[in-house]
């Protein structure tokens, strides 16, 4: 016991040692009186009990968990690749109950105020007329969209979602650093942080009353329901169709878009999944067009409508603003709300608050001087070295720190401000509070910023009891807090019991319980893009599998015959290498120009077919396409499916980098292991999807893709091996290899218990409808899937793709294997077999093409084209 207690003391000492030395400013945890603040005591005790080492280990676990769950944040132009893993510090940000009550009240007040300002800017503009808001401040901001004038959401609230970045100032109060009013991001990350913390650090939560985040999302749902209930004609929409509009997988917070859509049960869509017709917005789904009632947009407002806003945007929906104007769709936040993301506004909020609310601001903003006013401009110019300078326009968004600038830079800045004063503001350079972060096994004070979130209800704002805290990546530098600059996130704990009436039970429409399930599960509604991606996930998976299996066979043969190859072995091997080139379409390869030397020394070419990530047809290339398609429908995978694929991606990334040009043999060993693992993983992925994807929601598409690809691979392999006449021993070896590659050798042995014979081999591979790897089996399955497609249901006549498939299946069934194996006098190939396979291949390609055209066409096979009348000439 004594020893234990001592070791505990040691680690206690270690965790906080050196923390207080040179605290730059106020600290969240360490009080002015030289001890821990009361609300941190319990947490720090528990952390000390765990010790720095254990905390460090668990932090790794948290990071692994987040990584496996696919929590990413994309950083533009990042050499590490598109998706950077999300970083979470295990020390949460703690906020005491009383402190939070003030903050919460202040946030609500600010949201109410900003809402009134937003409504006024796009309405009467009385604040400008009354001189409370300078016209130049609003009109110079690129977020002021004149096309959005007089466009309103029904009800009191125009600012539906609001986020504020807070930091604690030297006076101990929370200050607002910036306002996020367009499409605030962070709620999903906050939720994911909490669930990772709860999973890895359940012991830290014990006996500490931490407010729950889930209520906020219930409030978001309720808010949306309340909005849709306010139809302009007074009618009430029982089950509004709600979609989350994302710019797509390349957006920095795409993970969150997918995560929220899936958490809330709304469809995740991109601009060209939607279209405007008859004055409404429609979602293109596999089953046809469906009206959309509410759009939660994560696309910047200027990009939302190429007709009236930025005409070069491909992310929006042409005609959207007109539909909003007619009140036929509700967009949150409404287009134009970015006008509030103007730092110059802060200088005018106190007086507007007194004017509109008759209240003083509860949360102060950073002292701000707008250079559009002569006195303020003079002040800023005189104090440039001590201020932070920002432009009010988010288009040339930049933040300059006066004290970091040299003489020349200061002079340039001074000139720029004097030339266009309206576009600049100066802000006080405040040192904000620090909070502890775990760094190398002990705690260090780092600057933190807390993003808080609000959502409008019927008659008030609900505040998320928590938020997304980010701490600086560099000690003493609060400007490096943002994710783009490498900041690290923290869970945020509001200490205190839940209020008596949590939001979820308040303002619940009477029919909510009944309305909710069908809304949460938009049955049968599969956006066309999602359908297409699922189809390609099926195709790429099967393509990767076929390639990997054939490669495995080829490599095995190569190893076995190493050095002592007999003539039949060489013929068989070369035929397989050629088959590989045909299957992967990596010409010239082993088929065309230069093939002779490659056939003699196949290793380099083989490694390239496996590992070259930029060579179309290579395994690595196919896998990259697969990962991209999987990622594009991020919201559809179960956690387990996701994890399987994510682990695979990681494995192949490292394999890529392990490629050693000098030691192809060593690389080959790695590769063979990787191929085995790849095959097992992809089979597991398909199995999981079969269990978790609902039949109407996409499994059908995924499996149809698989079946088509499997058929095409099989046809290609048989055509490039068994069609050509070979000497008997070589042909025998080839048949065995093809059966192996198609996972059919064991079935063959069980079924025929005989030596391989071409006729029976072909019968099993092509005709046997009971054999799950045969061509006939794929076609029958495909036929069933196609007839279950929404548009093919209840139809008397066959659709085009059904006809094509029926033709293929009939051709196959009418064929006689005994005829197929025959070979004409002096011929070198089995012509009948070849022509049958050629016809099958053509029909299947055509089927895939028709499916693509009928079901996935996002813009009716057309591109968006912007017309502008030319410059007249007079």
Partner 1 sequence: MTYRIVHITRYKYHESVNLCHNEARLIPRSNAWQVCKFSQVNIEPLPEEYSEREDFFGNRVSYFAIQHPHEQLMVKVISEVQKTAIETQTDLFGGISWERAKLELLSNKPDLLDARQFVLESPMLASSLTVEQYARVSFTAGRPLLEATHDLMRRIHKDFDYVPKFTTIATPLSEIMRQRKGVCQDFAHLSIACLRSMGLPARYISGYLETVPAPGTERLTGADASHAWFSVFVPGSGWVDFDPTNNLIPSTKHITLAWGRDYSDVSPLKGVVFSAGKHALSVSVDVQRISG
Label residue 13 exposed, middle or buried (CB < 10 Å: 0-12, 13-18, 19+): exposed
Sole window of 518-526, 576-584, 759-767, 854-862 interacting with partner 1 (rule: CB under 8 A): 854-862
Q: Which is nearer to partner 1, 240 or 336 (CB)?
A: 336
Contact with partner 1 (CB under 8 A) among 80, 206, 796, 860: 860
Q: What is the C-alpha separation between 444 and 464, in angstroms, rounded? A: 27
Contact with partner 1 (CB under 8 A) among 149, 203, 727, 849: 149
Asked if 315 and 299 count as a contact pair (C-beta separation under 8 A), the reply is: yes
Helices 775-788, 831-855: axis angle to 10 degrees equals 20
Q: Which is nearer to partner 1, 308 or 646 (CB)?
A: 308
> How do strand 330-332 and strand 294-297 relate by DSSP bridges?
parallel
Residue 602: both structure tokens together: 């196949």
Contact with partner 1 (CB under 8 A) among 409, 505, 835, 866: 866
Scanning residues 319 to 378, which ones bind partner 1 (CB under 8 A)? 319, 322, 325-326
| 85: β partners | 72
Asked if 133 and 348 count as a contact pair (C-beta separation under 8 A), the reply is: yes
Please state the closest distance from residue 269 (CB atom) to partner 1, in A. 17
Q: What is the C-alpha separation between 390 and 346, in angstroms, rounded? A: 12
Contacts of 589 (CB under 8 A, 6+ apart): 577, 580, 581, 595, 598, 605, 609
Contact with partner 1 (CB under 8 A) among 243, 276, 454, 761: 276
Contact with partner 1 (CB under 8 A) among 275, 425, 449, 623: 275
Q: Applying CB under 8 A, does 395 fall inside the site for partner 1?
A: no
Asked if 260 and 248 count as a contact pair (C-beta separation under 8 A), the reply is: no
Q: Applying CB under 8 A, does 411 fall inside the site for partner 1?
A: no
CB atoms within 10 A of CB 781: 18
Site string for partner 1, 110-139 (x = CB under 8 A): ------------------xxxx---xx--x
Q: Which is nearer to partner 1, 236 or 277 (CB)?
A: 277
Contact with partner 1 (CB under 8 A) among 214, 520, 824, 859: 859
In 435-562, which ranges are continuous DSSP H helix? 512-520, 528-560
Element (H, E) at 280: strand 280-285
> First CA to last CA across the chain, in angstroms?
97
Q: Which is nearer to partner 1, 306 or 568 (CB)?
A: 306
Q: Which is nearer to partner 1, 125 or 173 (CB)?
A: 125
Please state the closest distance from residue 866 (CB atom) to partner 1, in A. 6
- Short-list 868, 542, 583, 517, CA closest to 737: 583
Tell me how far the alpha carbon of residue 40 is from its chain's centroid. Answer: 35
Size of the site for partner 1 (CB under 8 A): 44
Site string for partner 1, 520-539 (x = CB under 8 A): --------------------
Sole window of 145-153, 179-187, 191-199, 648-656 interacting with partner 1 (rule: CB under 8 A): 145-153
Please state the closest distance from residue 277 (CB atom) to partner 1, in A. 6
Q: Applying CB under 8 A, does 863 fall inside the site for partner 1?
A: yes
Sole window of 306-314, 337-345, 603-611, 689-697 interacting with partner 1 (rule: CB under 8 A): 306-314
Q: Applying CB under 8 A, does 306 fall inside the site for partner 1?
A: yes
Q: What is the C-alpha separation between 716 and 741, in angstroms, rounded? A: 12
Please state the closest distance from residue 150 (CB atom) to partner 1, in A. 9
Site string for partner 1, 421-440 (x = CB under 8 A): -x------------------
Element (H, E) at 780: helix 775-788
Q: What is the dihedral of CA 540, 844, 530, 524, to 10 degrees?
A: -130
Site string for partner 1, 635-674 (x = CB under 8 A): ----------------------------------------
Q: Which is nearer to partner 1, 235 or 860 (CB)?
A: 860
Q: What is the dihedral of CA 536, 539, 544, 546, to 10 degrees?
A: 180
Q: What is the C-alpha separation between 249 and 630, in angstroms, rounded? A: 10
Asked if 219 and 506 count as a contact pair (C-beta separation under 8 A), the reply is: no
Q: Which is nearer to partner 1, 18 or 279 (CB)?
A: 279
How many Å is the Cα radius of gyration of the chain? 32
Q: Applying CB under 8 A, does 861 fall inside the site for partner 1?
A: yes
DSSP code of residue 219 = H
Q: Which is nearer to partner 1, 117 or 805 (CB)?
A: 117
Please state the closest distance from residue 850 (CB atom) to partner 1, in A. 18
Element (H, E) at 447: strand 442-456
Q: Which is nearer to partner 1, 146 or 250 (CB)?
A: 146
Please state the closest distance from residue 870 (CB atom) to partner 1, in A. 7
Q: What is the C-alpha separation between 498 and 481, in angstroms, rounded? A: 30
Q: Applying CB under 8 A, does 279 fall inside the site for partner 1?
A: yes
Asked if 659 and 488 count as a contact pair (C-beta separation under 8 A), the reply is: no
Q: Applying CB under 8 A, does 874 fall inside the site for partner 1?
A: yes
CB atoms within 10 A of CB 502: 16
* Sheet strands side by side (includes 399-401): 368-370, 424-428, 387-391, 399-401
Scanning residues 545 to 564, which ones bind partner 1 (CB under 8 A)? none
Contact with partner 1 (CB under 8 A) among 25, 140, 231, 800: 140
Q: Applying CB under 8 A, does 852 fall inside the site for partner 1?
A: no
Sole window of 175-183, 275-283, 643-651, 790-798 interacting with partner 1 (rule: CB under 8 A): 275-283
Q: Which is nearer to partner 1, 307 or 479 (CB)?
A: 307
Give the Cα-Cα-Cα angle 709, 715, 717 (nearest 5 degrees): 100
Q: Applying CB under 8 A, does 872 fall inside the site for partner 1?
A: yes
Q: Name the 3-class secondary structure at 492.
A: strand
Q: Which is nearer to partner 1, 145 or 544 (CB)?
A: 145
Scanning residues 732 to 751, which ones bind partner 1 (CB under 8 A)? none
Sole window of 24-32, 616-624, 731-739, 863-871 interacting with partner 1 (rule: CB under 8 A): 863-871
- Short-list 728, 739, 799, 800, CA closest to 765: 739
Q: Which is nearer to partner 1, 129 or 813 (CB)?
A: 129
Give the Cα-Cα-Cα angle 853, 856, 859 (nearest 5 degrees): 85
The footprint of partner 1 (CB under 8 A) covers 128-131, 135-136, 139-140, 146-147, 149, 275-279, 306-308, 311, 318-319, 322, 325-326, 419-420, 422, 859-874
């Amino acid at each position: 016991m004594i020893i234990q207690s001592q070791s505990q003391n040691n680690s206690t000492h270690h965790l906080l040692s050196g923390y207080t030395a040179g605290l730059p400013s106020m600290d969240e945890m360490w009080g002015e009186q030289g001890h821990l603040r009361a609300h941190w005591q319990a947490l720090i005790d528990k952390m000390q009990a765990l010790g720095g080492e254990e905390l460090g280990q668990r932090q790794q676990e948290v990071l692994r968990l987040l990584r496996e769950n696919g929590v990413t944040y994309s950083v533009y132009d990042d050499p590490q690749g598109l998706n950077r893993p999300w970083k979470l510090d295990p020390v949460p940000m703690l906020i005491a109950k009383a402190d939070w009550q003030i903050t919460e009240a202040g946030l609500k007040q600010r949201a109410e105020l900003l809402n009134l300002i937003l409504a006024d800017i796009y309405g009467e503009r009385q604040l400008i007329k009354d001189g409370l808001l300078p016209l130049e401040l609003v009109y110079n901001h690129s977020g002021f969209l004149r096309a959005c004038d007089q466009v309103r959401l029904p009800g009191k609230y125009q600012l539906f979602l609001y986020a504020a970045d807070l930091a604690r100032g030297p006076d101990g109060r929370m200050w607002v650093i910036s306002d996020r009013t367009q499409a605030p991001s962070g709620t999903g990350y906050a939720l994911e942080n909490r669930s990772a913390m709860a999973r890895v650090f359940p012991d830290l939560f014990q006996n500490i009353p931490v407010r729950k985040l889930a209520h906020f999302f219930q409030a978001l749902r309720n808010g949306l329901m309340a909005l849709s209930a306010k139809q302009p004609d007074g009618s009430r929409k029982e089950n509004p169709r709600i979609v989350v509009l994302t710019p797509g997988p390349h957006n920095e917070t795409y993970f969150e878009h997918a995560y929220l859509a899936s958490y809330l049960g709304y469809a995740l869509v991109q601009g060209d999944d939607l279209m405007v017709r008859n004055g409404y917005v429609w979602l293109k789904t596999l089953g046809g067009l469906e009206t959309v009632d509410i759009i939660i947009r994560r696309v910047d407002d200027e990009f939302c409508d190429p007709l009236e806003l930025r005409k070069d945007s491909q992310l929006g929906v042409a005609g959207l603003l007109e539909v909003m104007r007619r009140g036929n769709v509700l967009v949150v936040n409404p287009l134009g709300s970015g006008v509030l993301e103007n730092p110059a506004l802060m200088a005018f909020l106190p007086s507007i608050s007194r004017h509109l609310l008759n209240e003083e601001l509860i949360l102060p903003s950073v002292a701000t001087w707008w250079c559009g006013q002569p006195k303020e401009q003079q002040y800023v110019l005189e104090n440039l070295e001590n201020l932070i300078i920002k432009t009010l326009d988010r288009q040339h968004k930049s933040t300059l720190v006066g004290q970091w600038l040299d003489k020349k830079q200061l002079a340039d800045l001074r000139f720029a401000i004097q030339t266009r004063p309206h576009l600049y503001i100066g802000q006080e350079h405040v040192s904000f509070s620090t909070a502890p972060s775990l760094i190398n096994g002990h705690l260090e004070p780092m600057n933190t910023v807390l993003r808080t979130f609000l959502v409008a209800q019927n008659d008030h704002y609900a505040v998320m009891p928590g938020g997304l805290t980010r701490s600086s990546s560099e000690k003493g530098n609060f400007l490096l807090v943002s994710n783009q600059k490498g900041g690290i996130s923290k869970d945020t704990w509001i200490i205190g019991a839940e209020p008596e009436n949590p939001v979820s039970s308040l303002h619940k429409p009477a029919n909510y319980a009944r309305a909710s399930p069908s809304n949460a599960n938009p049955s049968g509604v599969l956006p066309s893009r999602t359908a297409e991606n699922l189809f390609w996930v099926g195709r790429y998976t099967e393509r990767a599998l076929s390639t990997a299996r054939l490669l495995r066979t080829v490599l095995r043969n190569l190893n076995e015959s190493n050095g002592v190859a007999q003539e039949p072995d060489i013929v068989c091997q070369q035929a397989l290498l050629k088959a590989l080139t045909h299957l992967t379409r990596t010409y010239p390869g082993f088929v065309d120009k230069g093939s002779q030397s490659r056939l003699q020394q196949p290793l380099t070419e083989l490694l390239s077919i496996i590992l070259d990530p930029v060579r179309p047809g290579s395994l690595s290339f196919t896998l990259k396409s697969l990962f991209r398609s999987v990622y594009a429908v991020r919201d559809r995978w179960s956690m387990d499916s996701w994890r399987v694929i994510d682990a695979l991606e990681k494995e192949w990334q490292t394999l890529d980098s392990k490629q050693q040009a000098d030691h192809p043999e060593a690389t080959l060993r790695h590769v063979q292991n990787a191929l085995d693992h790849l095959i097992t993983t992809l089979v597991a992925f398909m199995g999981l999807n079969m269990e978790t994807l609902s039949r109407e929601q996409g499994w059908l598409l995924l499996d149809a893709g698989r079946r088509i690809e499997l058929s095409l691979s099989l046809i290609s392999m048989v055509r490039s091996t068994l069609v050509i006449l070979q000497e008997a021993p070589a042909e025998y070896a080839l048949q065995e290899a093809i059966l192996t590659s198609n996972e059919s050798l064991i079935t063959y042995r069980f079924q025929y218990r005989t030596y391989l014979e071409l006729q029976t081999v072909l019968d099993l591979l092509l005709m046997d409808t009971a054999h799950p790897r045969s061509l006939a089996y794929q076609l029958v399955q495909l036929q069933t899937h196609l007839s279950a497609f929404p548009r093919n249901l209840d139809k008397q006549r066959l659709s085009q793709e059904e006809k094509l498939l029926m033709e293929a299946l009939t051709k196959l069934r009418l064929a006689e294997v005994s005829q197929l194996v025959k070979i004409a006098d002096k011929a070198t190939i089995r012509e009948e077999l070849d022509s049958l396979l050629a016809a099958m291949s053509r029909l299947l390609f055509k089927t895939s093409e028709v499916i693509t055209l009928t079901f996935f066409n996002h813009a009716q096979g057309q591109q968006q084209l912007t017309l502008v009348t030319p410059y007249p000439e007079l």
